[in-house]
Amino acid sequence: MKVRGIVLGFALLGAGGGLLARGATRIGVHQGYAPEQPIDFPHRIHAGDNKIPCLYCHSAARTSRHAGIPSASVCMNCHTLIEKQTTEIQRLKEAVQLQRPVVWTKVHNLPDFVYFNHSQHVVSGVACQRCHGAVERMDRIEQASPLTMGWCLGCHRSEAHVPTSTFARVAANVRNRPTPFAGEDCTSCHY
Amino acid sequence: MTDRFVVGSFGEPGTMLAAVDALRGAGVAIHDVFAPYPVHGLDQAMGIRRSRLPLVTLLAGLGGLCFALAFQYYTAVFDWPLDVGGKPENSTLAFVPVCFELTVLIGGLGTVGAFLLRARLFPGKREQLAALGVTNNVFAIVTYAPRDANDDELARRIMLENGADEVEEREGST
Amino acid sequence: MTNRRPSCEEAAHAAPGGGEPLVQIGLPTGTRSTGFDATRRDVLSLMGFSLGALGVAGCRAPVQHAVPLPTASVEMVPGVPNLYATTCGGCSAACALVVKQRDGRPIKIEGNESSPLTGGGTCAAGQASVLSLYDDARLRGPSWLGNPVSWPEMDRHIRTALGGHSDAREVVLLSQTITSPSTRAVLEDLRAVFPKFRHVVYDPMSLAPLRAANRLCHGVAVIPHYRFDRARVVVGLEADFLGTWLAPVEFARQWAQRRKAGAERAFHVQCEAGLSVTGSNADLRLAVAPSDLGRFAVALLAAVARRLGDEQPAGLDASALAQETTHAAAVDRIAAELVRSRGESLVVSGSDDVATQIVVARLNAQLGNIGKTVDLERPSWQRQGDDAALPALINDMNRGAVHALMIWGANPVYDHPDGAAFRAALAKVALTISFADRRDETSAHVHAVCPDHHFLEAWGDAEPVAGQFSLRQPLIAPLHDTRAAVESMLAWADRPADHRSVVRDFWRRALYGRTTPAPGGFEDFWERTLERGVVEIPRPPVATHPFAGDWEGAVRDIISRGRANRSGAEHGGGYELALLETVGARDGRHANNPWLQELPDPMTRLTWGNVACVAPETAAALGVATGDVVSLTTEIGKLELPAFVQAGQQRRTISVAVGYGRWAAGKAGDGVGANVFPLARVENGARRYWARVAIAKTGRRARLAPAQTHFSMEGREIVQFEHVNEHEHEHEKLPDLWRERLRGAHAWGMSIDLDACTGCSACVVACQAENNIPVVGAEQVRKSRIMHWMRIDRYFEGDGEDARSLHQPMMCQHCQHAPCETVCPVLATTTSSEGINQQVYNRCIGTRYCANNCPYKVRRFNWHNFTANDDFPYNMQSPLGRLVLNPDVTVRSRGVMEKCNLCVQRIQLGKNQAVLQRRPMADGDVATACQQACPTGAIVFGDRGDPDSRVSKLLAGQRAYNVLEELGTRPNVGYLKRIARKEST
Amino acid sequence: MSTGAMEPTAGTGPEIAPATRWIEGTPSLHRITTDISRPMEAKPGRGWWICFGIAGAAVLNLLGMVTYLFAKGIGIWGLNNAVGWAFDITNFVFWIGIGHAGTLISAILLLFRQKWRTSINRSAEAMTIFAVMCAGLFPLIHMGRPWDAFFIFPYFPNQRGPLWVNFRSPLVWDVFAISTYFTISLVFWYLGMIPDLATLRDRAVSGIKKFVFRILSMGWNGSQRTWSRYEIVSLVLAALATPLVLSVHSIVSTDFATSLLPGWHTTIFPPYFVAGAIYSGFGMVLTLLIITRQTMHLERYITTNHLEAMAKVTLLTGSLVGYAYATEFFNAWYSGNVYERFHFINRATGPYAWCFYLMVLCNVLTPQIFWWKRARRSIPLLFIASILVNVGMWFERFVIIVVSLHRAFLPSGWGMFYPTVFDVGILIGVFGLFFSLFLLFIRALPMIAMWEVKGVAND
């Protein structure tokens, strides 16, 4: 019976260690991060109900590394015509009149030392939702993906037609891999 | 179940050895002998077979070797074949040191683990001493004392003849 | 590479005053993108302190904000760099630039490829000048009698002090050379307003004697426009035209064009006292003391004349003259070369002696170079300073004749021998105004300091060479409450106007007429010129007459003085102190620029200070070793400097760099080195840049900050030579143990032409600016911890005066079999599918094993945290200084290894552009920072996978080789052997 | 332990026994127990306190300096772009070397049935463990970013997906070699101590002591059946540990041998390093034993014969090392490689030549005195020699590392290394750490294997 006690102890220790390890690997991962915003902007209404294309507001995503948060003036393109008034819209109009920039809280923060270029992906036809989740169904925007290196690589490899599952890779003749279309080099993202 | 034992303590390894021989000669079943250090010749005297622990070592070692080789090969060739100094993805020679180390590590730990299990040793186990000072300077022979009494006498007599300082009977469980 | 824009009207029109427009422009969505963002820095510093902080940084990431512009900008997309053409304000050469602006901040200076003069080259100082924009020492606003005031107040004060313009009291503008035509026009207007307006021009490093000589010989007091690209033989007499003299970028380009011309390759002779960039690249270098320079020129003239069968100077025969110089044999040979290529030769001299300049002018005339390699009709408008004017001005000031003095871009208290006198005289002037951007040595003593814009904040134009115009436009709204000097002066003249319209109107009025009218009229012309940056507008040639100077008089003068010198040399100590400019320090105006202070001088490889260069023989004679402090005593006075034993130095001379020893430049520049300008006294109307000196050991030692300590190649084939018309056998490649690895779409590589590289070090600063390389300070440099990714190694061949100095740019060689990669335990450095040796900072744990195993020693380790660390008070410490950081490049934390990555951020940008434009990449799409900066085009980057790319062709060529090839590292960076000319005498 | 004696034909036993006695007199079993337990049961003497005071001070200094190091970065050391490793890795290799004698004595001598090991192997093993601890400190603190040290372990799960570690890098080999070596040595040491722990348990009077020893001794009761398995296990471990010892320093030597630096890139490094390691290890064992036998009055068990035997080993390994030095120079000359040649000329005539000559003096010349029996048996001589040997071996590593680095291929990259106060302070501090650990050990645990001595005593 003593022996059993010992074994049990070791088992518990192992389990604890496992949990710890799992916790450790979540450090710096903010999946589900959904901070409050200065203006309660519902993507559900704009991108969802009204089907405004993402790139209408986040136009920079086509040309820049940043998708960009639209200037209040961009909002006014529509909101000057729409008479629907809410306190939130009021705040927006204030900001425009006073030329006071809205200080949004950034949701998707990449880890340090990582370069990500939106335009590259947008032009290559990667859907926004693939990383940002079903934004059109979100009231308050939240980080849908872990944004870890392993997560990025998964996609880059499938895009690069490099088998990702171990067995697939074992099956595939590794010697003549196709040269990745989506970069698999360190310097694709780190410099 | 509880048994009755005859425990004889000796101050000298020589006398103890003689007693062991005599006892086995008289066909008394020896449960175990307790000593402050491994008295040589006692194994043969008691007829203990050589332990098979080295087999465990071999298996554990091989296990370690295979794991090391497979793991390195997997990480370097399959999981992400990076170009490191233009070297071949499968730089087997470079994998040798780690293979060796893991062989030794797992082999060694496996053996010790197996030994502790087999010898029923674990931290905090309460010791069962055959006699006071068996870890210092006393050698103790423990024989089973079966029901019928004269046999019992036999064991006691042989031990005393062979210079046991003291012989006692005890109840106990193994 | 990125979208090039006509002009940066936005920045131009943004409300002046303070940084708030900047902050709005500068912090677009994603503070992270701006590279100097708080979070990254905080995380790093946190990490710096404890392991726990890693958890902190990770578990609860600091909240970040994204601040879009209130009104969307058409031009400026956050994260997309824009390029704007403008004109450099670093020196009077006024090179045409293209400046990279990122999120509203100018962050990188590049040469303007469309300029016919520079062709896209820049110099070290030019590259660094972007950092001066973010200099903490800059004044935040105008100040009157030392108290900050608003501009209206300031104008009121000055108007009252000027007391109307009617009365005939003298108003003087003291400035350095002004190459801006519009500004010159403004000054004419001022003459109209102020009856007695005088413009005094002076340059710390003056060429007045050259202009004087041309006045005497050709009737025009101009500096000719030299054409080194047309010269098959170039003879330089104390003219460091590849490094610092006049317009080094333009000249280096021309010179390199000739050098690369194969059989047409120019033969370049350089005569100088101290080793200069130009001398180290000459095919034949002669060490000539300043006092002998004139006699050398005379001997050369005589030799040429004899060969041409021309008349000899009356009463002197060639053989006698030949004896005047120590280099008789060489002189004859040079004469032969010169005569052989008459009309295609060029003799330039930076001599401070009019007589010598006359002899040189005669030489060029005799050789028929006038109008061919020496263009007097379309002269250069640079270095217009008049040496005699400043002493005269000081007299007038003392007499009280000067009522108001405006000082613009001049700092005589520091860089003039009469500085003290000038300072004293300032007190006698009713109103003294300075446009200086800082409280420097001079502006500290004036009534009103009206800080001018940095040139990246300003409008303007320039005409460095007759007919070659370029425009200047602001890249950013003024960071501080500054005002263009032109605007200030016009305001005080009651003709207020903003500088932009001043320039624009001038161009419409004075220049547009002379151009072929554009379809869209002036607007169109203006827009196009702004976009292009440069324009060539023909102008009537300056009237000159053929050589008619009293050259014989000059010769006699030189001879007699030479004899005096000689006899003087016997008893007056016997040594001559020669002042020289270095590519980093120049005339000292950039002294507070830490990039330039830490730029190793290509000739001495020293940083942070100047030294007394002594010839090895002299050093032995005096028992002086490098680092010994010596005292140099001239008739002007005495100064102490650490000695530096420099092979190639003329025996009887000691060379010291000017531009150091400032005391009011700012944190970085103050008290670095010693100021030797006071020795350059004015003698019969011209500044002398050499003096007789007595040198003595003080017994004290100084700790220099060298970037390189060993200058011999130890017989190793590091810098290799190819001998002209000598067949090199094809050397076979080493066998490869391993099969070729799978390669990606490209195979990036680089070729560096050692025959074209002058060592000017523009690339080093360009690399520093592009890649956020920190300045570490003298103490760390002493510990050999300088961080430059690209360095220019300097080796000596031979010794004494004839030592040949070799430059070799050295950065990561991007080996295909990189020794560093194998040893990294964590895969922080690997070869990319495109052949780049990648360094991943966030994977690096800093074992430094890679650096130990790197045969080229090009890896650089962050021994401390050099960012936002008060132990390192340089640009990266101050929030303002960090605005120069490149957002596309990681700011490295403490404890990680770094090195050249072939400007991978530019490669990625190039790829991105190609993808966006749905086209394959073409050769030349990507230029690394060093390549872009190089004035001689010595560096070529490209895809080695494409056999037609320039780099492939070059590296397949006869001269290509790899450094330490025998180690089998297979670098992707190759070198082209330096060409050693067969000495055929 | 006394396998030798177990041999029914104790062939080797009698041959050695008359020549040398490994125990003075014939103490009774009980006497042995009490003698060896005395240091643990008596109050520490003044000598011990003085030593511990000094060592402890050094440890505090170490803590302070390492804290400052983590706060400021390794720039506080004298390292630079030319010389990327100096005191840090020198100390690392040095301590790893020290760590070699312990396992060697217990394992190899066990296999060779050398009875004289019995009274020294326990402390030698302890020394090994402490030395490896000291060594292990350096790979950690020498990193630029020690808080990311865990990167060098291949672990799962992680955030990086398929990025593991570089199994081609000798540093990764080191990680495996040293952790294995440490673990196996620790297990070997502990296993060997279990019977003695049981003895102590049964002697213990105070409840706490008894409790602690009871936990540690795992209920050992001296059963012969266990004893016989126990001996097998010991033999197995010894058989594993022996190649392990050789492998560890061979692998450490590949840190240098696999590079391409002149002075590092040499094939003789593995055997050369192993010899050196054993050499320095024995030097350190000598130093420690001479001190402890005096202070702890254990002359009866640690006899002059022991010391002499070790002196012989020292002489052998010292000469091996000397031979290696000579070979290096010969190869450099014979290879005709300019870089190699320059390196060795520079080693003997360059700015660090004095280190080289000091190293030759200490490592090659010093041990030669042991050709004389009188020298081998003179305690003071042995003591001085053992110190010199360790000085010499430290400088050997310094020469190999710094002299090779400071003048490599491109003269433009040449530099010098000048130690700072932190370099020296940490060096001293680690010695303090080592000695404090050892001092604590001899107070807390039986520094001589009682049961083995008993075995030998009763032959």
Q: Pick from B81, B89, B122: which is nearest to A6 by CB?
A: B122
C-alpha closest to that of D445 among D41, D4, D28: D41
Domain parsing of chain B, residue ranges: 2-50+129-173, 60-118
- C553: number of Cβ within 10 Å: 13
- Candidates D106, D165, C556; CA nearest to B72 is D165
Q: How far is A148 from chain D (nearest CA, A)?
A: 6
Q: Among all residues of chain D, which has the CA nearest to that of A166?
A: D162
CA distance B94 to B90: 9
Task: Return the structure tokens found at C41.
Answer: 């820095």
Copy the structure tokens of residue B14: 């020589």
> Which chain D residue has the Cα nearest residue B78?
D162
Provide the number of CB pairs (under 8 Å) joining chain A to chain C: 161
Q: Residue D229 is nearest to which of B33, B51, B94, comparing CB atoms?
A: B51
ipTM of the complex: 0.90
Instruction: Spell out the domains of chain D, with CATH numbers in brackets.
Output: 47-454 (1.20.1630.10)
Is the preceding peptide bond at C142 cis, omega within 30 degrees of 0?
Answer: no
Amino acid at C110: E
Residues of C in contact with D414 (CB under 8 A): 709-710
Q: Choose among A107, A103, A99: nearest CA to A67.
A: A107
What is the strand order of the sheet C534-536 is part of?
C223-226, C374-380, C460-465, C468-472, C534-536
Mean pLDDT (chain D, rounded)? 88
Tens digit of pLDDT for each residue in C427-458? 999 999 999 999 999 999 999 999 999 999 99
Closest C-alpha among D101, D138, D375 to residue D245 = D101
Strand B139-144 relative to strand C65-66: parallel, antiparallel, unpaired? unpaired
For C657-717, what is the HEC assignment? Answer: ECCCCECCCCCCCECCCCCCHHHCCEECCEECCEEEEEEEEEEEECCCEECCCCCECCCCC
Which chains have 3 or more CB–CB distances shorter than 8 Å to chain C? A, B, D
Q: Which chain A residue has its CA at the smallest distance from B117's CA?
A: A3
Predicted pLDDT of residue A167: 60
DSSP conformation letters of B64-92:
HHHHHHHHHHIIIIII---BSTT--S--H
Mean pLDDT calculated for residue range D226-237: 91
Report yes or no: A149 and C863 within 8 Å, Cβ to Cβ. no
Residues of C in contact with D80 (CB under 8 A): 783-785, 863
Decide if pLDDT at C34 tops 60.
Answer: no
Q: What is the 3-state secondary structure (H, E, C) of C501-544?
A: HHHHHHHHHHHHHHCCCCCCHHHHHHHHHHHHCEEECCCCCCCC
Q: What is the pLDDT of residues B44-93, one digit of tens each?
A: 888 888 888 999 999 999 999 999 999 999 998 888 888 898 888 888 89
Question: CA distances (Å), C512 to each of C460, C509, C515, C545, in order?
Answer: 16, 7, 5, 30
CA nearest to C384, candidates C578, C554, C187: C187
DSSP helix/strand/coil, B164:
coil
Q: Are D47 and D295 in contact (CB under 8 A)?
A: yes
Which of C50, A149, C824, C839 is closest to D145 using CA atoms? Answer: C50
Task: Provide the 3-class DSSP secondary structure of residue B170.
Answer: strand
Predicted local distance difference test score (pLDDT) of residue A165:
56
Burial annotation D330-347 (CB, 10 A radius, 16+ → b, else e): eebeeeeeebbbbbbebb
Instruction: Check whether C172 has a pLDDT greater than 70.
Output: yes
D367-379 average pLDDT score = 91
- Whether C980 has a pLDDT exceeding 90, the answer reads no
Among A5-9, A187-191, D9-13, D253-257, the least confident range: D9-13
Are A177 and B125 a contacting pair at CB < 8 A? no
pLDDT single digits (tens) C566-599: 655 555 558 999 999 999 999 999 999 999 999 9
**The token pair that represents C762 in the structure block:** 């523009």
Q: Taking each helix axis as running N to C, give the angle between helix B53-73 and helix D224-257, from 0 to 180 degrees, rounded to the nearest 10.
A: 30
Whether the CB-CB separation of D178 and D96 falls below 8 Å is answered with yes
pLDDT at D5 over 50: no
Q: Which residues contact B48 (CB under 8 A, 6 or more apart)?
A: D224, D225, D228
Fold that domain B2-50+129-173 belongs to in CATH: Alpha-Beta Plaits (3.30.70)
Q: Tens of pLDDT along C329-362?
A: 889 899 999 999 999 999 999 999 999 999 999 9
How many whole angstroms separate alpha carbon C902 and alpha carbon C858?
13
Question: What one-character DSSP code corresponds to residue C490?
Answer: H
A146 CB neighbours in chain C (<8 A) are none
Q: What residues of A are in contact with residue D166 (Cβ under 8 Å)?
A: none
- Who's near C953: CB < 8 A, 6+ residues apart? C947
Most trustworthy range by pLDDT among C105-114, C543-552, C800-809: C105-114
d(CA C18, CA C5): 25
Interface of D with C in 48-67 (CB under 8 A): none
Backbone angles phi, psi at C543, to 5 degrees: -75, 125
Longest CA–CA span in chain B (Å) reads: 84
Cα angle C335, C340, C341 (rounded to 5 degrees) comes to 105
The one-letter amino acid code at D237 reads L
Nearest to D157 among A25, A28, A153 (CB): A25
D207's tokens: 């409840």
Task: Work out the burial of residue A82: count CB atoms within 10 Å of its CB; fewer than 13 is exposed, 13-18 middle, 19 or more buried.
Answer: exposed
Q: Which of C255, C206, C250 is nearest to C225 (CA)?
A: C250
Phi, psi angles (nearest 5°) of residue A169: -65, -35
CA of residue A114 relative to chain centroid, distance: 13
For the segment C417-424, the average pLDDT, to the nearest whole number, is 92
Question: What structural domains and CATH numbers belong to chain C?
Answer: 209-380 (3.40.228.10), 573-706 (2.40.40.20), 747-980 (3.30.70.20)
Q: What mean pLDDT do residues D115-130 have?
A: 84
Side-by-side strand order, sheet with C402-408: C147-148, C143-144, C448-449, C431-434, C402-408, C170-175, C197-201
Cα(D32)–Cα(D35) distance, rounded to whole angstroms?
Answer: 5
Residues C875, D108: Cα–Cα separation, whole Å:
61
pLDDT given for residue C53 in this prediction: 32
Distance (Å, whole) CA A101 – CA C624: 65
Question: Which of C225-234, C912-921, D342-351 comes out lowest in average pLDDT?
Answer: C912-921
Q: How many CB atoms lie within 10 A of CB B161?
A: 11
Structure tokens at A170: 């074992």
Distance CA B24, CA B137 (A): 23
Q: Do B122 and A166 touch (CB under 8 A)?
A: no
Q: Percent of chain C scored above 90 by pLDDT?
A: 66
Q: What is the pLDDT of residues C466-481, one digit of tens each?
A: 999 999 999 999 999 9
Residue positions counted in chain D: 459
Question: pLDDT tens digits for C825-876?
Answer: 999 999 998 889 999 998 999 999 999 999 999 999 999 999 989 999 999 9
Are the beta carbons of D160 and A151 separated by less than 8 Å?
A: no
**B touches which chains (3+ CB pairs under 8 A)?**
A, C, D
Q: How far apart, in whole angstroms, are the C-alpha atoms of residue C708 and residue C857? A: 12
pLDDT (mean) for C504-531: 90
Is residue A39 within 8 Å of residue A75, measured between CB atoms?
A: no
Cα separation, C480 vs C19, in Å, equals: 7
Q: Look at residue C954 in the predicted model and tell me its pLDDT.
A: 93
Q: Is the pLDDT of residue A178 over 60?
A: no
Task: Give yes or no for residue C984 having a pLDDT over 70.
Answer: no
The string of pLDDT tens digits covering residues C8-31 is 554 444 433 333 333 333 333 222
For residue A132, what are the contacts with CB-CB under 8 A and spacing of at least 6?
Answer: A108, A144, A145
Residue among C710, C780, C967 minimizing CB distance to D412? C710
Which amino acid, one-letter code, is at A112? D
Q: How many whole angstroms separate alpha carbon B102 and alpha carbon B72?
A: 12
Asked if residue C408 lies in contact with residue C257, where contact means CB atoms within 8 angstroms, the answer is no
Hey, are the CB atoms on D81 and C794 less than 8 Å from each other?
no
pLDDT surpasses 50 at A132: yes
Has residue B110 got a pLDDT over 70? yes
Residues of B in contact with A2 (CB under 8 A): 122, 125
Coil, helix or strand at residue D237: helix
Strand ranges (E), A109-171: none
Q: Which amino acid is it at C159?
A: R
If we measure between CA atoms, which residue out of C19, C5, C26, C15 comes closest to residue C68?
Answer: C26
The secondary structure of C788-853 as a DSSP string is -SSEEEEEEES-GGGPEEEEEEE----BTT-HHHHH-TT--EEE-TTS-EEE-TTT-----HHHHH
Residues 758-787 of C with CB under 8 A from D: 780, 783-786
CA gap D355, C256 in Å, rounded: 49
Of all helices (H) and strands (E), which one includes residue C279? Answer: helix C277-281
